[in-house]
Amino acid sequence: MSLTHLNLSNTDIIGNIPSTISHLSKLESLDLSSYRQVGLELNSFTWKKLIHNATNLEEIYLDSVNMSSIKGSSLSMFNNLSSSLVTLSLAFTGLQGNLSTDIFSLPNLQGLELSSNQNLGGQFPKSNWSTPLRHLGLSSSAFSGEIPYSIGQLKSLTQLVLSSCSFDGMVPLSLWNLTQLKYLDLSQNKLNSEISPLLSNLAHLTSCDLRGNSFSGKIPNIYGNLTKLEFLDLSYNKLESQVPSSLFHLSHLSNLDLSSNKLLGPIPIEITKHSKLSYVGLGYNMLNGTIPHWCYYLSSLLFLHLGYNRLTGSIGEFSTYSLQYLVLSKNNLHGHFPNSIFELQNLNHLHLSSTNLSGVVEFHQFSKLKKLTFLNLSHNSFVSINIDSSADSMSPYLYSLDLSSTNINSFPKFLARLPNLKTLDISYNNIHGKIPKWFHKKLLNSWENIQYIDLSFNKLQGDLPIPPSGLQYFLLSNNNFTGDISSTFCNASSLKVLNLADNKLKGMIPKCLGTLPSLSVLDLQMNNLYGSMPRTFSKENSFATIKLNGNKLEGPLPESLILCTKLEVLDLGDNNIEDTFPNWLEILQELQVLSLRSNKLHGTITCSSTKHSFPKLRIFDVSNNNFSGPFPTSCIKNFQGMRNLNDNQIGLHYMGNSDYYNDYVVVTMKGLSMELTKILVTFTTIDLSNNMFEGEIPKVIGELNSLKGLNLSNNGIAGNIPQSLSYLKNLEWLDLSRNQLRGEIPMALTNLNFLSFLNLSQNHLEGIIPTGKQFDTFGNDSYEGNAMLCGFPLSKSCKNEDWPPHSTSEDEKESGFGWKAVVIGYGCGAIFGILLGCQVFLTGKPRWLARFVEHMFNIRLKRRNNRANANRRRMN
């Protein structure tokens, strides 16, 4: 055959490329590529023969051809590629292994495209890289390490695409000498250091994408030279400077994304008359000042994201109606809701949550926005949304509506006319009364795409709505729903999170809930449910959180719980469950929180002696039961999850990954019953209080060195306080009251530097109370009821000891605000501070930030009657 050019690209032909293709020895150009993988294969034998015979080949395009059989040593055949080769394009071919540097040094090669070969790596030439290469594409490949200085020798390079690899270190300064570059994409790597001002050398640059690296420091204000720049993306870095004003004088720039950095200062107010900006992303920074005027009149603007900053002032009136996407959420804006928003005919996304706007919004105005798909007005407690005003024809495309915390007090009727709802959030409002009948009908018959419904924190009454089959998130907690949970709930087989907590639900829990395959959070706590908990959990279930506490559940614990291999939180506290200790749960390798408090559990607590029993348990609460027998040493000594946790190493992480659900739990902390809205991964407690445990405290407890709280009060525990307790360096509260403890208080306990609550009262302890450090902060009630104890702070002084007078404590009691109160306040406050602070700084999820205010109110301090008697005195 005399064929020199063969192009069968994108023709849907499939199969193994026959080796006879190598008979085309005159071939100069071969294109069998495809923009999607169709099933063409090229094996290493054919490839070898082809490049051996077709020595005139100048162009090879085999993108999406499966060449995955060419790996390891057979990759070396690339070294035999014809030196006449001008273009080699092998993206998405499944090539694997390490390419030698030779391929980069082919003397005539102008285009090399090896992108999307995740297991293909190699080395760049470290020197002598002066080739006529114009295009180099290696995105989503296994190339890594530093970009070598030699890249600066590729003087003809116009396109450099090294995105989504693992390049790290600094960008070599030589790269900024590639003055022919038009297209530069280094996004999604680990490049760091500052962005060099030499960037201004690249006068031909039209597109520059450096997103998703670790670039830090300033953005050089040097963009005046880059007159051809159309696209600039520096988002998701650690840049700290101001927004460079020179960017806004570039008349060709249409796409500017600097979001998710640490940018400070105001947004430049001056902009060139010829600006073509259509996409402006400045969200998730720390920008202050006001929204610049050009945002309102620039007629090219389609996308404007200024959310999650510190912008102040009011939102002005728009005089151009080009905008399609507008995000101003989470700023310090105030003033009236701008009416001109309703004139933005092309708007499809509008996010104005947490903007402190005021005034009245006539909701029917939104029906003017015929293309609206996404509307978020949440957390605007000063705006009064007139939801009753008839919204005749809202955009039929509206699929996401968030009106959480917007002072709505009736169920929005216009929802009935939305055909395509996918997510609905009207939580944290004052909606009262029953859910209208049309909503039940819409749910089951019309809204085929609905995935997310949040009606929680309202005053809704009556029966629960039935979730439709496609629903994934059904959040109805903290309402006044009555009635029972229908077994038709189980038709919602896609459910991931079902939260019906804090209602007045009665009846039994449908047995079938345990068989929903995707359900990961089942929260039915604080209702009036009775009967037994679901007894059949299917294999391969997804449960991570089961919270059924605060009901009237009875009967034994279902052994099929051991099938919940992903279970992290099991809270069955405050029920009437009668059973022995479920030590068979010890095989759940992910279990971190086990609360069985306040039930009718009895018998001894023992575990198998394997090291893998309860390996991750961090909160173990069996208080207020009828457990008896010796101290549960066999369990406690295996709690690997309570050892060697390091706040600094782990960082302040919280449990759970869901944006839509917090794992929270009630624990008794420093004598107070508290609800932790989010559980720190390093939060570790053991509560065995109010049972009938006997025997001694084992020494081994000193190995649980991450323990923050230990409560053994009101048992029959005898013997001495072990010295090893002093190894619990993280201990913040220790309650051993109402036991039969004897002997002296170990001096070593004064080494517990974080101890802020100590209760040793009502025992048979004797001798001198240790002093120094934290022990100087505890009051009488820490020790009372121990007839043989003496010394500070008790009024009984020890023989032969000369303790200072105690008159000060009397004075303070009268003043009502003594040093004890300060200390207790400080201790509790510190815990609160950490919990709250970390929630804000570390989650980084917009949804969390948006809900920050609500969570503040969620950290509720509860004093439980049965626990508080002793503590009330302290707090008063």
CA dihedral 453, 458, 462, 463 (to 10 degrees): 20
Tokens of 218: 């300033």
Instruction: Kindly indicate which of the ranges 24-32, 315-323, 413-421, 816-824 contains the residues binding other proteins, using the contact rule CB under 8 A.
Output: 24-32
CA dihedral 360, 362, 365, 367 (to 10 degrees): 130
Report if residue 6 touches other proteins, rule: CB under 8 A: yes
Q: Which of 827, 823, 797, 801 is nearest to 812 (CA)?
A: 823
Nearer to other proteins, 23 or 432 (CB): 23
Nearer to other proteins, 14 or 173 (CB): 14
Instruction: Kindly indicate which of the ranges 16-24, 291-299, 367-375, 704-712 contains the residues binding other proteins, using the contact rule CB under 8 A.
Output: 16-24
Nearer to other proteins, 20 or 753 (CB): 20
Nearer to other proteins, 52 or 773 (CB): 52
Report if residue 772 touches other proteins, rule: CB under 8 A: no
Number of Cβ atoms within 10 Å of the Cβ of 200: 17
Nearer to other proteins, 25 or 797 (CB): 25
Q: Which residues contact 84 (CB under 8 A, 6 or more apart)?
A: 55, 56, 57, 58, 108
Report if residue 10 touches other proteins, rule: CB under 8 A: yes
Cis peptide before 793 (omega within 30 of 0): yes
Q: Please, what is the minimum distance in Å from the beta carbon of residue 13 to other proteins?
A: 5
Nearer to other proteins, 14 or 788 (CB): 14
Q: Please, what is the minimum distance in Å from the beta carbon of residue 7 to other proteins?
A: 4
DSSP state of 244: P
Report if residue 7 touches other proteins, rule: CB under 8 A: yes
State the number of CA atoms in the 13 A half-sphere of 426 facing the CB. 21
DSSP state of 859: S
Q: Please, what is the minimum distance in Å from the beta carbon of residue 348 to other proteins?
A: 21
Among 35, 45, 297, 857, binds other proteins (CB under 8 A): 35
H/E element holding 874? helix 865-875
Query: According to the 3-state scheme, what is the secondary structure of 249-313?
Result: HCCCCCEEECCCCCCECCCCCCCCCCCCCCEEECCCCCCCCCCCCHHHHCCCCCEEECCCCCCCC
Nearer to other proteins, 30 or 501 (CB): 30
Total residues in contact with other proteins, by rule CB under 8 A: 28
Instruction: Kindly indicate which of the ranges 10-18, 605-613, 615-623, 816-824 contains the residues binding other proteins, using the contact rule CB under 8 A.
Output: 10-18
| Alpha-carbon torsion (217, 221, 223, 225), positive or negative | negative
- Listing DSSP states for 517-561 in one string gives SS--EEE--SS--EEPPP----TT---SEEE--SSEE-SPPPGGG
Instruction: Kindly indicate which of the ranges 13-21, 118-126, 175-183, 262-270 contains the residues binding other proteins, using the contact rule CB under 8 A.
Output: 13-21
Report if residue 14 touches other proteins, rule: CB under 8 A: yes
Q: Which of 605, 622, 616 is nearest to 638 (CA)?
A: 616
495-554: contacts with other proteins (CB under 8 A): none
Nearer to other proteins, 15 or 816 (CB): 15
Nearer to other proteins, 3 or 562 (CB): 3
369-388: contacts with other proteins (CB under 8 A): none
Q: Please, what is the minimum distance in Å from the beta carbon of residue 413 to other proteins?
A: 39
Instruction: Kindly indicate which of the ranges 36-44, 66-74, 793-801, 860-868 contains the residues binding other proteins, using the contact rule CB under 8 A.
Output: 36-44
Tokens of 758: 């100590």
Q: Please, what is the minimum distance in Å from the beta carbon of residue 36 to other proteins?
A: 8
Report if residue 3 touches other proteins, rule: CB under 8 A: yes
Instruction: Kindly indicate which of the ranges 2-10, 459-467, 811-819, 823-831 contains the residues binding other proteins, using the contact rule CB under 8 A.
Output: 2-10
Report if residue 2 touches other proteins, rule: CB under 8 A: yes
Q: Which residues contact 729 (CB under 8 A, 6 or more apart)?
A: 705, 751, 752, 753, 754
Q: Please, what is the minimum distance in Å from the beta carbon of residue 19 to other proteins?
A: 10
38-97: contacts with other proteins (CB under 8 A): 38-40
Nearer to other proteins, 26 or 440 (CB): 26
Q: Please, what is the minimum distance in Å from the beta carbon of residue 324 to other proteins?
A: 21
DSSP state of 370: T
Taking the C-alpha atoms of residue 551 and residue 535, their distance in angstroms, rounded to an integer, is: 16
Taking the C-alpha atoms of residue 279 and residue 240, their distance in angstroms, rounded to an integer, is: 21
| Alpha-carbon torsion (540, 545, 548, 554), positive or negative | positive
Q: Which of 139, 59, 153, 57 is nearest to 105 (CA)?
A: 153
Instruction: Kindly indicate which of the ranges 19-27, 83-91, 371-379, 454-462 contains the residues binding other proteins, using the contact rule CB under 8 A.
Output: 19-27
Tokens of 54: 């077709």
Q: Which residues contact 522 (CB under 8 A, 6 or more apart)?
A: 498, 513, 543, 545, 546, 547, 548
Instruction: Kindly indicate which of the ranges 6-14, 365-373, 663-671, 702-710 contains the residues binding other proteins, using the contact rule CB under 8 A.
Output: 6-14
Number of Cβ atoms within 10 Å of the Cβ of 676: 22
Nearer to other proteins, 2 or 869 (CB): 2
Query: According to the 3-state scheme, what is the secondary structure of 322-336?
Result: CCCEEECCCCCCECE
Nearer to other proteins, 15 or 805 (CB): 15
Report if residue 4 touches other proteins, rule: CB under 8 A: yes
Nearer to other proteins, 8 or 692 (CB): 8
Among 31, 58, 113, 523, binds other proteins (CB under 8 A): 31
CA angle, corner 274, sides to 272 and 280, nearest 5?
Answer: 70
Instruction: Please report which residue ranges of 361-448 form alpha helices under DSSP H.
Output: 437-441
Scanning the structure block, which residue is given the tokens 């992910």?
590
Q: Please, what is the minimum distance in Å from the beta carbon of residue 570 to other proteins?
A: 49
Q: Please, what is the minimum distance in Å from the beta carbon of residue 118 to other proteins?
A: 24
Q: Please, what is the minimum distance in Å from the beta carbon of residue 9 to other proteins?
A: 4
Report if residue 20 touches other proteins, rule: CB under 8 A: yes
> For residue 159, what are the β-bridge partners?
135, 183
Instruction: Kindly indicate which of the ranges 12-20, 503-511, 527-535, 543-551 contains the residues binding other proteins, using the contact rule CB under 8 A.
Output: 12-20
Q: Please, what is the minimum distance in Å from the beta carbon of residue 162 to other proteins?
A: 24
Report if residue 25 touches other proteins, rule: CB under 8 A: no
Q: Please, what is the minimum distance in Å from the beta carbon of residue 15 to other proteins?
A: 4
Instruction: Kindly indicate which of the ranges 9-17, 298-306, 498-506, 821-829 contains the residues binding other proteins, using the contact rule CB under 8 A.
Output: 9-17
Nearer to other proteins, 31 or 586 (CB): 31
Nearer to other proteins, 10 or 320 (CB): 10
Report if residue 13 touches other proteins, rule: CB under 8 A: yes
Taking the C-alpha atoms of residue 586 and residue 345, their distance in angstroms, rounded to an integer, is: 60
Q: Contact, 206 vs 231, CB < 8 A?
A: yes
Nearer to other proteins, 21 or 594 (CB): 21
446-485: contacts with other proteins (CB under 8 A): none
Q: Please, what is the minimum distance in Å from the beta carbon of residue 93 to other proteins?
A: 15
Q: Please, what is the minimum distance in Å from the beta carbon of residue 50 to other proteins?
A: 11
Tokens of 53: 């015979």
Q: Please, what is the minimum distance in Å from the beta carbon of residue 14 to other proteins?
A: 5
Q: Where are the beta strands (DSSP E) in 297-408?
A: 303-305, 325-327, 349-351, 359-362, 374-376, 383-386, 400-402
Nearer to other proteins, 18 or 772 (CB): 18
Q: Where do contacts with other proteins occur on this chain (CB under 8 A)?
A: 1-18, 20-21, 23-24, 31-32, 35, 38-40
